[in-house]
Structure 1
């Protein structure tokens, strides 16, 4: 596949040449959560053709955005990870994701929510200015996966799976809920989630994660 060339000496044009091809930003989104094997990326991006994934990863490696690393113990093999240059894309992904969330509307048939997309939505919605005095941890459970958010003195660690040291509050969505960021916030506001832990931390969660996110209908 030939990379798009806009023929313009412009930062936005160059950025789109490097990361704007189909599936590119979603690959970067997933790698921003944690390094992943090729097969993990393939499984986590349903619908991506294997040859497209291979091409994008090769392009990103050539551009210095992605690198291969040896997986730490107890895992084995090679994983793909963002380089420092690639990590600089995360704020742009947050901003683009917040804007895109306002355009979602109702889920279309066949659309899914992945744990990586929900974790990235939490990062994008996080308001550091409202969390300077907050130290707490949350887990969000769905029938298919869990994600965590750990805030320590205003700094966030959000990712896939349970919180490393356990969660102060566990938020469980009902089986029929689509666990997108919008649905999560709406379910919390409507009292449609189950919680395990201090209820006041549910209010804290809404304060530090919902204030920068898009409004819900």
Structure 2
């Protein structure tokens, strides 16, 4: 008797009308959703994307960008002189994937196998803050927090609206953290002392901020 071939490894589509299945057609390939993650804070050059995803090869990154562009999630453009560099950025629709990253991140953080001490990018760190913030701990306080991460500046507002960050000038920040994303994560999520990172500005705001992000309880096995 001839066995039926259940799957076709060369076929990209799940050929399923379910929206979740089509979503996986769009961003389900290995690395694809993480490319979207790295673009959440604005346009990036190819080299910037590789820097945020050190495990990806140039060939695979090219394939994923081409696939995301063909799907309408990503677009590319050339910056004018004197920069003359090609950058990739999310379309308006592509930016709508942010809640997917946040919900998936919070769900996966409950896995007994999740290790928050592993390397992470600036985009991953900042998205995690939007995901993990405990609004009860925020209370009625509002502050502007600056980050210098891997040579780039990010400014974030924290208050009743939660946590929202963007790349930008740090002049208005109440406090500025300068360190690698992994070191800041070690303080916020790992309980490391705050003095392992550089802190400029209000020490009171800094201590308040790092206590806003408790990790969720692990799921029962």
- Give TM class, smaller chain: 0.7 to 0.9
Shift of residue 164, structure 1, vs aligned partner: 3.3
Contact 1:169 1:198 in 2 (8 A): yes
Paired positions, count: 206
Using the size of structure 1 for normalisation, the TM-score is: 0.75
SS in 1 for 2:40: helix
Equivalent residue in structure 1 for 2:17, among 1, 5, 9: 9
Task: Output aligned runs, 1:108-127, within 5 Å.
Answer: 111-126=118-133
Q: Which has the larger radius of gyration?
A: 2
| Aligned position for 1:105 | 115
* Residue 210 (1) aligns with residue 218 (2): no
Shift of residue 61, structure 1, vs aligned partner: 1.1
Shift of residue 80, structure 1, vs aligned partner: 0.6
SS in 1 for 2:102: helix
| Aligned position for 1:196 | 200
CA deviation vs aligned residue, 1:81-105 (integer Å, no higher than 9, x gap) = 1001111100110111122233323
Q: Mind listing any 5+ residue stretches in structure 2 that lack a counterpart? A: 1-8
Write the distance in 2 (CA, Å) between the matches of 1:168 and 1:106.
Answer: 27
Shift of residue 48, structure 1, vs aligned partner: 1.0
Contact 1:97 1:121 in 2 (8 A): yes
Contact 2:145 2:158 in 1 (8 A): no
Shift of residue 167, structure 1, vs aligned partner: 2.7
| Aligned position for 1:186 | 190
Shift of residue 180, structure 1, vs aligned partner: 6.2
SS in 2 for 1:5: coil
SS in 2 for 1:196: strand
* Residue 136 (1) aligns with residue 143 (2): yes
Q: Mind listing any 5+ residue stretches in structure 1 that lack a counterpart? A: none
Quickly say closer, same or farther: Cα 1:141–1:32, change in 2 above 3 A. Answer: closer
Shift of residue 116, structure 1, vs aligned partner: 2.1
Write the distance in 2 (CA, Å) between the matches of 1:204 and 1:129.
Answer: 12
SS in 2 for 1:151: strand
Write the distance in 1 (CA, Å) between the matches of 2:160 and 2:82.
Answer: 31
| Aligned position for 2:171 | 165
Contact 1:134 1:151 in 2 (8 A): no
The two structures, once aligned, show a CA RMSD in angstroms of 3.4
CA deviation vs aligned residue, 1:62-120 (integer Å, no higher than 9, x gap) = 1111111333676332211100111110011011112223332374xxx5222222122
